[in-house]
Amino acid sequence: MTSSQLSSILKETASELGFSKVGIAPAVSAPLTKERLYLWLDKNYHSGMKWMAKRKEERGDIKQYYPQVKSVISLGMNYFTGNPEDGEDACKISNYAWGDDYHEVVKNRMYDLYSTLQGIEPEIRGIVAVDTSPITEKDWAQKAGLGWLGKHTNLITREFGSWLFLGELLLNVELEYDKPFTEDLCGSCTACLDACPTNAFPQPYVLDSEKCISYLTIEHRGDLPEEFESELHNWVYGCDICQEVCPWNISFQKLSTIEAFQPREDLQSRKLEQWKNFTKDDFRSLFSKSAVKRTKFEGLSRNIEAVRKSIEVSK
């Protein structure tokens, strides 16, 4: 089978599996990507995410991660299911965490794609990767033609805005490659930068994690830094502010049809009163198979308490 035929089957199968975008790039080292990554790490913009630096060689050079790789298939899956309700008593959870844990949903479907390809060409070998793997997924998605890197550091696509989960399939075979996305369609817009309440962007296209509400409410362990404790703006897990104000999202966001991403309970509009007397058992029950487990019960409780204090002060 030719590389063109295999590539066509790959894309058709990916679409059938629910992927919204798919592109293929040659696994060529990118010195500029590596340079940007190392500079970001040197400035300690990864904050407490020490694993980012621990495997920086692999992140900076995909052949360090998988030496046999010849093709990188980038896949995007639309997860948008609506915006959270505002209100002074709202405790907001990022859209991506309303349903089931995307890591499992996306990885399982990627494994199905991988199995299909191996059934056609048994000599195919590869690695399934999501954002827990040491790979610069947004850069590879741009190289594969899916979209461009926005000033808020998320990948933006013409068709779905930035509401996409990304995954990569690294294969040891050559395929038919897509043209990279070379345009920057953000133009002069700075809506995402201007809207960030904690000034987490020291410059366009650069995120200082330590100031990011998503980082603070999910990855940060222990007490919240005093200067940010009252700056969560009702977010108890994650933050979508920079995405909600993006003109591409406002104009082109589409509701996801993936059942696993549909909101559980009333997470998109859960009020402060509903978190009262919330226990570890409640946490395990409500967030079974959920990405929210990442912050642990202690982290979520800390965030809720910080929001509660802010709400009381504002009344």
The tens digit of pLDDT for each residue in 161-195 reads 999 999 999 999 999 999 999 999 999 999 999 99
Residue positions counted in the chain? 315
Phi, psi (degrees; rounded to nearest 5) at 112: -65, -40
Question: In the prediction, which pLDDT does 84 show?
Answer: 82
pLDDT per residue over 49-102, tens digit each?
Answer: 999 999 999 999 999 999 999 999 999 999 999 988 777 888 999 999 999 999
Q: Tell whether pTM > 0.75.
A: yes
Task: Please report the pLDDT score of residue 315 as a whole number.
Answer: 63
Catalytic residue among 61, 89, 112, 131: 131
- Could you confirm whether 282 is annotated as catalytic? no
pLDDT above 80 for 269:
no
Are residues 214 and 238 in contact, defined by beta-carbon separation less than 8 angstroms? yes
**pLDDT at position 210:** 96
